[in-house]
Amino acid sequence: MYILQGKYSEALPYNLRAIEIMMRIDSTINLWENHMHLSNIYGELGDYKNALENHELYEQNRTED
């Protein structure tokens, strides 16, 4: 919801928490999608290093799903 509203700073902690929970319970279903969202959020915030890192994780997990 925050992403659609352009509130990227507010969206960031929710997306980080979602990935943390998925990793903790070993559920990687659609993990790639969360990394895609994080990549977009970081890009909009001007944090290109983390945007690239999450884009690479997105690509890696997308092919494994």
Q: Where does the chain have alpha helices with state H?
A: 8-24, 31-44, 48-64
Per residue in 9-48, pLDDT (tens digit) is: 999 999 999 999 998 998 878 888 999 999 999 999 999 9
The domains of the chain are located at: 8-64
Give the pLDDT of residue 38: 96
pLDDT at residue 63 greater than cutoff 80? no
pTM: predicted TM-score of the whole model, two decimal places = 0.85
3-state SS, residue 1: coil
* Cβ contact 51:43 at 8 Å: yes
> How many Cα atoms are found within 13 Å in the side-chain-facing hemisphere of 35?
21
Q: How far apart are CA 45 and CA 40, in angstroms?
A: 9
Per residue in 48-57, pLDDT (tens digit) is: 999 999 999 9
Give the pLDDT of residue 65: 56
Q: Which residue has the tokens 């959020």?
A: 41
